[in-house]
Structure formats: structure tokens, C-alpha cells
Amino acid sequence: MNHIDLSSVLRQTVSCDLYSNLVTRPTGAAVRHQIERLLDDAHDRTLTVIDFSQVAMIDFSCADEVIAKLLMRHEADDSPRDAYFLFRGVTDEHWEAIEAVLERRGLALVLEQADGIHVVGTLGSEERRVWEAVRQMGRATPVELAERLDVSAVEVQRALDVLRRRRLVMRLSDSYVVVGAHRGG
Amino acid sequence: MTTVVNVPPSLDDHSFDDVLRQLTGTPSDSKVLLDARHVRWASPFGLTALLTLAQTRAEMPALAVPELEETASYWARAGFFRHAEELYELHGSYPKRAGASDSNVLLEITSVAKSEDVHDVVGRIQQKAQLMLRELSLDAKATVGFAMTLSEICQNIVEHAGRGGWVMVQTYRWTKRLGRRVVVIAVADAGVGFRQSLETAPGKERGDRWDDAAALEDAVIRGVSRFRDPGRGQGLAGVRRYLGRWDGKLSVRSGTARIAIVPNWDDDLPLAEHLPPFPGAQVQVTIPERATSAQSQPVSARTQR
């Protein structure tokens, strides 16, 4: 599992200790490119924790550049790697900008908070229900999920495919786990 | 021949149109003297717009500085003369040094031309966060939103204007108008403006009505950007959302139009058209202090500083 402290990346990127805020599109693009470079050194399948703990604030433009474009690139059919992301240390001060870009781009992400992990953003009700069931079960096959949710395995598999493409669940052999529940990669 | 323009005694986002009206039809390479000798009060919009106006003139304009010592002193503390010295032939005496800082000036006039300038502006305003928390009764979340608002508006200059602009932030006690303190952000540039910026959008079709007002409606109300990327245009949308939550006002002037998101406490027009032309974009954001029951009764006149 990778751990990326965004404030460290920010300082490396803009070469100035004075900048503790994730603001402006050029800064966001530079930070995202640095994250991509760090991911290049990782294994084929990686779970990366994006840590906001030391970030004072993030604006809409930077949230779009860092978070939205990172997620979109890895959701795409030509994704460069099998990467998953868990967002940590996100506070109310960060949330306003992050929520806005997720809504605008129709994206979702997995957030680690004191009370556990949550999926936030734009997600269909069926996918959200399946994601929640996987989280509660820890690890589950489509058949197990179908039984628990009382729906067909085909429907569950369809939702799982969406969730996997959107990097919200990981497939482990025949079963699935939500991102962040399994930290082995 | 020199065209003399009388600057109104009270210079704000509305009275600045009087300045522009007097300049209508004046070639940019002709000599202009802005007579500000009788100015007693100027808002951040007025000061940043004066600097912006000088940028639009091919021939360096002249400016007769305010005669009232208190006003000239305030302009100096706001950082106006530091920038004006490079843009105007200044006539009259004014403080060469800014003197003691003004606690009501949260951010003196600061030039914004590149991304690093936005970092600087946001960093400096965050240093004043404690003051904002205390004096404006804003909570910590609101001050972060304020910094985000400032960042996004300043980025409009960097991304769209094509040339540098200015930003200033000031607090006021609007006792008569509102019965509360407010914080005012003014950001002005003399760049391409909203209409021209949106016209560069590839493949963008225009309706029958396409002018500065339509461009402002697209950008401010509908979040349209010149970029194809749907992620663009979020800045002003986010600013609107923040201001809606904090009962703030947003006013954007570009070309011959001004659009405003008007809260209940203000009576500005939502859209003003056929104004005297002014290049670029000028944005003003006003965020009031949180209301308390004791502040419900306005009592006296708005005061400078």
C-alpha cells in the first residue's frame, strides 16, 4: 500500500515551504503529475492512501485537477494501471471543494474517517447498496451478495463491474472487497 | 488636448461608471487627467478599478490625488500609490510611505498575474483568519470558504484575463445599510473580459442575443467556461454556493454589463446593461458578519475605513 502525504507532494511540487494550500489549477496539475510519478514506481495493482491531514485548504480548481482528474484517469478503459485510492484526513474544510467536483464530474471515492470507511459522491442507488453490503460482509462473492440483497446474481455482478471500474471495490479471486478494507494490494 | 475626468467624491462600483461615462469616445492614445482631488471615500472596487483604467490607456494618464489628507493617507495604506506611481503621472502630494497598517485592510492592493500570486494572496489572507473570526463572527469553515472564494476569483485573472490585475480585501462597518460589519473583496483586470473569453470556446454556438450581459449570464449563472472540459467553470459556481450560504453578494462587471447575485439585504439590480464600456472583468464580493439580535436595527451612516 502506498501512502501519499499531499502536503509533502505540494512542497516538492512548488518548491516552496510557504505554500501549504492546494490552490490553483497549475498547482493541482503539478501535484497530480507528481502522484502519477510515485504510482509509476508501485506494483501493477496498488492501493494508495491520499492523505489530506496536513493540507490547510483546497479550492475547487485544485480539487478538480488533483482528485477528479486522478479518478477519471484510472476509471477510464485505458487506465495506466490497476490503481485504487483511499482518501484520508479529509475535513469539513476540504469537503466543500471535493464534494463540488465529485458532483460536477459524476465521480465517487472512498473516504476513511474515524468511524470507518464510506463511499461518497455520485453513485447509483443499486451500486451504493451493493458497495455497502460488501463493506459489511468484509469479503463476498456475487452469489453471497445476491442472497444477502435478495436480487439476482446478474444484477449484483453488473453493480460490481461498475464499482470495480470506478475503483470503489477490488476483486480478489472470486470475491470482492471494498477499497480500504483490504490493505494488502 | 487633455480630457479632464471628474472622479466622484464617493467612488464605488456604481459611481465608477460616471468615470467611464466621461471617457466614452475618448481615444486611448489621447491624454486624460483623472481629477480625484475631491474624492473623500473609495471602495476596494474604486481603487482597483482606477489602476485597471490606467492599464487601458495607451497614453499614460494623469491623476490628481485626493486633497483630503485622511483620504490620501488611506489610499497610501491600501497600497494604491505604490502601484499608481507606475501607471499614472501623479499630481499633488500624497504620503510616500504607507505608514502604520490599517487593521481594516485585510489585504492591501496586490497585483495578480500568475499562479504564484494566488498562493501568496491566499496565504496572506489566511494569516488574517483569526481577525476575521473575531471581528466578523465567522466560523473557521467560513474563513476557509472565504480563502477559496478569493483564490477562485483571482484565478480568473490568471486563466482568462491575458494580463495582470489587482485584488484588495477590506472590512467595513455598514451600520446604516446593514447594521453589521462586512468584508469586501474587489478583483479587477483589464483583460479580454467574459464575452471575448467565451467566444474563444471551440464550436460554441451563440443564440440571437449575444453580448456582454449574455456572456455574464453564461459564466456566472450557468457556469459556462471557454474550455470544453466540463470540470471548468466550477470556480464561480463554488463562489456562488459559498455566498448563498453566508448571505453574501457577488457582482461581476465586464464590458457594458454587470450581473449581481443579490441577497435580501441589498437592492442592487440583478442585471445592468448598456453601461459605459470598460475592458476586462471586475468582481466584487461582499460577505456580511453573522447577524445577531442586537444588530437587527441599523443606526448610523456607513463609515470609511
* pLDDT per position as a tens digit, A148-161: 999 999 999 999 99
pLDDT at A183: 55
- The CA distance from A150 to the nearest CA of chain B, in Å, is 38
Contact A14/B at CB under 8 A: yes
Q: Looking at the 3D structure of chain B, how many domains does it have?
A: 2
**Every domain of chain A and the residues it spans:** 1-122, 123-185
Q: pLDDT by residue (tens digit) across A53-95?
A: 989 899 999 999 999 999 999 998 888 888 999 999 999 889 9
Domain A123-185 fold is: Arc Repressor Mutant, subunit A (1.10.10)
pLDDT band at A18 (very low <50, low <70, confident <90, very high): low
- The CA distance from A8 to the nearest CA of chain B, in Å, is 16
B115–A68: do the CB atoms touch at under 8 Å?
no
Between these two residues, B292 and A117, which has the higher pLDDT value?
A: A117
pLDDT at B300: 38
Query: Does A17 score more than 70 pLDDT?
Result: no
A93–B144: do the CB atoms touch at under 8 Å?
yes
Q: pLDDT by residue (tens digit) across B180-214?
A: 888 999 999 988 888 988 887 766 666 678 899 99
pLDDT at A165: 95
Same domain, B158 and B18: no
pLDDT at B200: 79
Same domain, B215 and B241: yes
pLDDT at B192: 85
- Residues ≥6 apart with Cβ < 8 Å to B204: B198, B226
Query: Does B302 score more than 80 pLDDT?
Result: no
Cell numbers at residue A36, please? 502519477
Instruction: Number of A to B CB contacts under 8 A, please give it.
Output: 88
Cell numbers at residue B281, please? 472583468
Concatenating the DSSP letter of every residue in A91-103 gives -HHHHHHHHHHHH
pLDDT band at A184 (very low <50, low <70, confident <90, very high): very low
CA–CA separation, B76 vs B222, rounded Å?
39
B237–A100: do the CB atoms touch at under 8 Å?
yes
Contact B42/A at CB under 8 A: no
pLDDT band at B299 (very low <50, low <70, confident <90, very high): very low
Q: pLDDT by residue (tens digit) across B146-184?
A: 899 999 999 988 877 778 899 999 988 887 777 888 899
Q: Tell me the percentage of chain B whose pLDDT exceeds 70.
A: 90
Same domain, B90 and B130: no
Residue A61: which of B119, B140, B235 has the nearest Cβ?
A: B235
Residue B152: which of A27, A60, A93 has the nearest Cβ?
A: A60
pLDDT at A182: 59
Domain boundary among B37, B71, B98: B98
Residue B236: closest C-alpha in chain A: A60
pLDDT band at B95 (very low <50, low <70, confident <90, very high): very high
Same domain, B139 and B32: no
CA–CA separation, B142 vs B126, rounded Å?
12
B152–A19: do the CB atoms touch at under 8 Å?
no
CATH number of B31's domain:
3.30.750.24
Query: Does B298 score more than 60 pLDDT?
Result: no
pLDDT band at B71 (very low <50, low <70, confident <90, very high): very high
Q: Where are the alpha helices (DSSP H) in B139-181?
A: 140-156
CA–CA separation, B90 vs B198, rounded Å?
36
Which of the residues B139, B148, B156, B159 would you substitute to probe the A interface, choosing the one with the greatest number of A C-beta atoms within 10 Å? B148
pLDDT at B235: 81
Q: Tell me the percentage of chain B whose pLDDT exceeds 90.
A: 56
CATH among 3.40.1130, 2.60.120, 3.10.10, 3.30.750 for A1-122: 3.30.750
pLDDT at B180: 83
Contact A21/B at CB under 8 A: yes
CA–CA separation, A179 vs A84, rounded Å?
7
Same domain, B138 and B264: yes
A27–B115: do the CB atoms touch at under 8 Å?
yes
Q: pLDDT by residue (tens digit) across A163-183?
A: 999 999 999 999 999 998 855
Q: With beta carbons under 8 A apart, name residues in chain B contacting A61.
A: 151-152, 155, 234-235
Q: With beta carbons under 8 A apart, name residues in chain A contacting B236.
A: none
pLDDT at A60: 92
Same domain, B119 and B63: no
Cell numbers at residue B282, please? 471586475
Q: pLDDT by residue (tens digit) across B16-66?
A: 999 999 999 999 999 999 999 999 999 999 999 999 999 999 999 999 999
Residue B238: which of A16, A23, A100 has the nearest Cβ?
A: A100
Q: Is A90 exposed, middle or buried (0-12, 13-18, 19+ CB in 10 A)?
A: buried
Domain boundary among B98, B126, B158: B98
pLDDT band at B304 (very low <50, low <70, confident <90, very high): very low
Same domain, B149 and B287: yes
Between these two residues, B148 and A20, which has the higher pLDDT value?
A: B148
Query: Does B225 score more than 50 pLDDT?
Result: yes
CATH number of B273's domain:
3.30.565.10
pLDDT at B236: 85
At residue B123's C-alpha, the angle toward residues B303 and B283, to 5°, is 50
Contact A2/A42 with Cβ under 8 angstroms? yes
Phi (first) and psi of residue B8, to 5 degrees: -60, 150
Same domain, B227 and B252: yes
A24–B118: do the CB atoms touch at under 8 Å?
yes
Contact A98/B at CB under 8 A: no
Query: Does B295 score more than 60 pLDDT?
Result: no
- Residues ≥6 apart with Cβ < 8 Å to B59: B28, B29, B30, B31, B32
**Is the sign of the CA dihedral B149, B153, B156, B162 positive or negative?**
negative
Question: Rounded mean pLDDT of chain A?
Answer: 89
Query: Does B82 score more than 90 pLDDT?
Result: yes
Residue B115: which of A26, A60, A97 has the nearest Cβ?
A: A26
Domain span holding position B256: 103-305
Domain boundary among B83, B98, B113: B98
Q: With beta carbons under 8 A apart, name residues in chain A contacting B115.
A: 24-27
In the DSSP assignment, the letter for residue B12 is S
Q: pLDDT by residue (tens digit) across A32-41?
A: 998 998 888 7
Same domain, B56 and B107: no
In this chain, the answer to whether the domains covering A1-122 and A123-185 adopt an identical fold is: no
Chain B from 225 to 284: CB within 8 A of any A CB: 230-232, 234-235, 237-238, 241-242
Same domain, B49 and B113: no
Cell numbers at residue B76, please? 497610501
